[in-house]
Chain A
Amino acid sequence: MMPKVKIATDWLAGCAGCHMSLLDMDERIVGLLESVDFTSSPVTDLKHPPDEGVTVGILEGAISNTHNIEVAKKMREKCQILVAVGDCATFGGIVAMRNLVGTDQALERAYLETESVCGGLIPDSDELVKPLPMVTGVDKIVKVDLFVPGCPPRADAFFYALTELLAGRTPVILPPELFTYD
């Protein structure tokens, strides 16, 4: 029996929607499990990719703060093929709306100026991660091997990309009906 292909997923600045879409593969996940081992993900008990590494790493979400950079670099280190899924990981997405006002102004609006705030304070502690001045896609921090855009990518797009990778067919070219920006 062939050893199972190990896949790890993680999320950065995202909404978990891409992971939900991954789960939307429904019963096809059961079929995939015959040849795939999902080692870790934010929605399972094991959160971090194993030390020995995985073949495919999947990242959802944009690079928005210093922690995102750490997670992205760690995943890049631990996987052979890095897949950026969703508009946030590929372009910056919804999170990049912050760029239109600037990080400082966004923090002020959120923590000081919001109508319900009394005696607001912008969180600032060494224990907290620091928001970056600019939100970007994952490829601006680490090398990405495959992009699956979409908000979220359709479950069919996940299934198509994984099936192609498992069959060793690269580069993966998404068919037009699965290639979407929204």
Chain B
Amino acid sequence: MEQVRITINGSEFSSPVGTTVLQAAKQAEIDIPTLCDHPALAPIGACRICVVEVKGQRNLQTACSYPISEGMEIETESPRVVKARKLVLDMLFSERNHFCMFCEASGDCELQTLGYRYGLDHWLYPTYTKPFPIDATQKFFLMEHNRCILCQRCSRACGELVANHTLGLRQRGTDTMIHADTYLPWGESTCITCGTCLQSCPTGAIIERRSSFTGRSGQTEKTASTCSQCSIGCGIKVVTRGGQVLRIEGDWGAEVNGGLLCKRGRFDPLFEGRARYTEPLLRRDGKLSPADWDLILTTVAERINDARPDQVGILCSSSATSEALHLANNLFRRQLHSQAGLLNGAVPQAFDAGLLSDIEGSDIIIVAGADPVRAQPVSSFIVKRTADRGARLVLVAGKDNGLSPFAHVHVPPDEIGKAVEIASRAERPTVVYGDAVTDAQLNALKALEGKATFVRIEPGVNTYTAASLGINKGLNTRGLKVLYVLLGDQDWDGSGVIESLSPDVFIVLQGGFVSPLAGRADAVLPSAIWSERMGTTVNTDGRVLGLSAAFPPDGEAKQDWEVLQLLAGGLGLETGGSFAEISAAAVAELKGKEGR
């Protein structure tokens, strides 16, 4: 790429053409303060805190939006620049309520940090105190307009990244404020509570309700992990303090989601209502009662030994780690020669798979057999923002699909031919398909092979690994004597399977949360939940993603793979070796991961 030579504060640097002054300075490790700018958003140069002196320019220029050019000489902390920045800060502090001592964001506030940096020990101008309302109509976060500096990071994130366009500005001048839709209470607006605005806010204007006043960032620990809610596998940071999860943040640096999360990923795990299994339970005299690990593993091993291989089956939740699925496959199918089934189905691997990020480059998007708005929301953000940039969205679905309001063309499921015809005239069509896609639809879509990019969205968190192992459909329950359910965090009551079993089938439940299935289970093996789970998962793109535990498993609970390993040992079978060996073996078994 063509390089441009520039001088910053007297030192020479070179950066690619098209780079902004701010980006060039960052590459040169020179810190230019910002407020309205955010790396994930397009710069708007609104707050003017990033102004720099550019030789030959009459006025100071905003570094965030000013592109570099050959021979440009820039001063980032000259007296003129510092004076201008202090003026900006004095003006910002002169409006609304920026008293730190009773603010939730104090200590983590970007405005406060700049006040410190430029030594604002008093305010030049009288404070302007037109009171603004507080909007607390949202369950998860609230908007304190009095702390807002109108940087618009929230509304830009809502529009540019999530493409939901709920937030915007209303009024003019000193009356300007952020509003949802046409000034609706936020809780009654089109907001989908993904919390991207919350994560983007530089001050205490948008604050999370549950975790507010529970500690500054520096007092918390952050564990980088992967969201366990769906097959997108968003990068998260689990923020904890004193053994409690305070909140979940999207990881701005994660390739899959670029910081975005949905309501299910960001908030739902914090409001988990189910109780935990913290000790192994065994049914004795008709009642589940505590037992130690040795006894329970021996009992389960005996039951498995007593049955013929075809009378034993394991039913895996797709939310299990790759390690657990690998061991389950190794133990039950390869060594015991029994069967293994998948709780949630898998999508037929009909085409060469494209990546979620491929959607962004398309001019026509066909969505068929999928409802990403409901099932994999972050992928719907990608679809929506691509449509914002001019791509046509052709939705092949019933009327109740979550993407319906955004679709340019809505085609009934049995008329997919129309969608194929539209796409065949496009230059870069993408087909996004999910587990509800029918054989007829797949046949019709074949006409686009070689032209379109096909993006498969798996229904379950780690369906990719399960399907790679050949665990991709339900279990044949005929003649079963022992049913082992690897349930993970999944909320499943056994419907569709349990009713077909005879009453004497021995049911083993390995899971983290108390499940309605326990009413029928004979043994319960407690396992780690999302915040305690370690291992890997593979998202719908085939990307291998790490899960890190923020806490050790509660009580006597163990990691899923550890329990399966102990069981294999109890059966006198091959246990798979160390965690690292299991992990490597699991990754080696993935199919179609080339180029991931």
A residues apposed to B, CB below 8 Å: 84, 87, 90-94, 96-97, 99-101, 134, 136-137, 139-140, 144, 147-149, 151, 173-174, 176, 179-182
The residues of B that contact A134 with a CB separation of less than 8 Å are 126, 129
Known: A99-B129, A134-B129, A140-B126. A179 touches B101 (CB 8 A): no
Known: A148-B121, A181-B106. A87 touches B126 (CB 8 A): no
The residues of A that contact B126 with a CB separation of less than 8 Å are 134, 136, 140
B residues apposed to A, CB below 8 Å: 97, 99-103, 106-107, 112, 115-116, 119, 121-123, 126-127, 129, 131, 146
Give the most central of A96, A97, A99, A173: most B CB within 10 Å: A99
Q: Give the shortest distance, in Å, between B95 (CB) and chain A (any CB).
A: 12
Whether A144 and B122, one on each chain, are in contact in the complex, defined by CB atoms closer than 8 angstroms, is yes
The residues of B that contact A136 with a CB separation of less than 8 Å are 126-127
In angstroms, Cα B284 to Cα A148, docked, is 70
The residues of B that contact A84 with a CB separation of less than 8 Å are 122
Known: A91-B99, A97-B99. A179 touches B127 (CB 8 A): no
Closest to A95 in B: B99
Whether B101 and A93, one on each chain, are in contact in the complex, defined by CB atoms closer than 8 angstroms, is yes
- Return 28 A-B CB contacts under 8 Å, by A number: A84-B122, A87-B99, A87-B100, A87-B101, A90-B121, A90-B122, A91-B122, A91-B123, A92-B127, A94-B99, A94-B101, A96-B99, A96-B127, A96-B129, A99-B129, A100-B129, A101-B131, A140-B126, A144-B122, A148-B121, A173-B119, A179-B116, A179-B119, A179-B121, A181-B100, A181-B101, A181-B106, A182-B107
The residues of B that contact A93 with a CB separation of less than 8 Å are 99, 101
Q: Give the shortest distance, in Å, between A92 (CB) and chain B (any CB).
A: 6
Task: With A94-B102, A179-B119 given, name 7 new contacts (CB 8 A).
Answer: A84-B122, A91-B99, A97-B102, A149-B122, A176-B116, A181-B112, A182-B106
Closest to A137 in B: B122
Closest to A100 in B: B131
Partner of A147, one of B107, B112, B122: B122
Partner of A137, one of B97, B101, B123, B131: B123
Closest to B132 in A: A100
The residues of B that contact A174 with a CB separation of less than 8 Å are 121
Q: Give the shortest distance, in Å, between A152 (CB) and chain B (any CB).
A: 9
Partner of B97, one of A100, A139, A182: A100
Whether A182 and B100, one on each chain, are in contact in the complex, defined by CB atoms closer than 8 angstroms, is yes
Whether B123 and A149, one on each chain, are in contact in the complex, defined by CB atoms closer than 8 angstroms, is no
Q: Give the shortest distance, in Å, between A89 (CB) and chain B (any CB).
A: 9
The residues of B that contact A176 with a CB separation of less than 8 Å are 116
Partner of A151, one of B101, B107, B112, B129: B101
The residues of A that contact B119 with a CB separation of less than 8 Å are 173, 179
Closest to A101 in B: B131
Q: Give the shortest distance, in Å, between B99 (CB) and chain A (any CB).
A: 6
Known: A100-B131, A101-B131. A149 touches B102 (CB 8 A): no
Closest to B128 in A: A99
Give the most central of B103, B107, B129: most A CB within 10 Å: B129
The residues of A that contact B129 with a CB separation of less than 8 Å are 96, 99-100, 134
Closest to B124 in A: A139
Partner of B146, one of A87, A91, A100, A179: A100
> Which 6 A/B pairs are nearest by Cβ-Cβ distance?
A181-B100, A151-B101, A147-B121, A99-B129, A182-B101, A147-B122
Give the most central of A99, A134, A136, A181: most B CB within 10 Å: A181
Q: Give the shortest distance, in Å, between B130 (CB) and chain A (any CB).
A: 9
In angstroms, Cα B97 to Cα A147, docked, is 20
In angstroms, Cα B472 to Cα A58, docked, is 76
The residues of A that contact B122 with a CB separation of less than 8 Å are 84, 90-91, 137, 139, 144, 147, 149
The residues of A that contact B100 with a CB separation of less than 8 Å are 87, 151, 181-182
In angstroms, Cα B188 to Cα A57, docked, is 54
In angstroms, Cα B124 to Cα A137, docked, is 10
Partner of B121, one of A94, A97, A149, A182: A149
In angstroms, Cα B280 to Cα A48, docked, is 73
Q: Give the shortest distance, in Å, between A16 (CB) and chain B (any CB).
A: 15
The residues of B that contact A90 with a CB separation of less than 8 Å are 121-123
Closest to A173 in B: B119
Q: Give the shortest distance, in Å, between A172 (CB) and chain B (any CB).
A: 10
In angstroms, Cα B121 to Cα A91, docked, is 8
Q: Give the shortest distance, in Å, between B543 (CB) and chain A (any CB).
A: 42
Give the most central of B103, B121, B123: most A CB within 10 Å: B121
In angstroms, Cα B89 to Cα A91, docked, is 14
The residues of A that contact B103 with a CB separation of less than 8 Å are 182
Q: Give the shortest distance, in Å, between A146 (CB) and chain B (any CB).
A: 8
Closest to B106 in A: A182
In angstroms, Cα B103 to Cα A94, docked, is 11
The residues of A that contact B97 with a CB separation of less than 8 Å are 97, 100
Q: Give the shortest distance, in Å, between A52 (CB) and chain B (any CB).
A: 29
The residues of A that contact B127 with a CB separation of less than 8 Å are 91-92, 96, 99, 136
In angstroms, Cα B94 to Cα A134, docked, is 14
Give the most central of B99, B102, B129, B131: most A CB within 10 Å: B99
In angstroms, Cα B123 to Cα A168, docked, is 25
Whether B99 and A92, one on each chain, are in contact in the complex, defined by CB atoms closer than 8 angstroms, is yes
Q: Give the shortest distance, in Å, between B120 (CB) and chain A (any CB).
A: 9
In angstroms, Cα B100 to Cα A149, docked, is 11
Q: Give the shortest distance, in Å, between B258 (CB) and chain A (any CB).
A: 32
Q: Give the shortest distance, in Å, between B131 (CB) and chain A (any CB).
A: 5
Q: Give the shortest distance, in Å, between A180 (CB) and chain B (any CB).
A: 8
The residues of B that contact A151 with a CB separation of less than 8 Å are 100-101
In angstroms, Cα B569 to Cα A87, docked, is 66
The residues of B that contact A100 with a CB separation of less than 8 Å are 97, 129, 131, 146
In angstroms, Cα B127 to Cα A118, docked, is 35
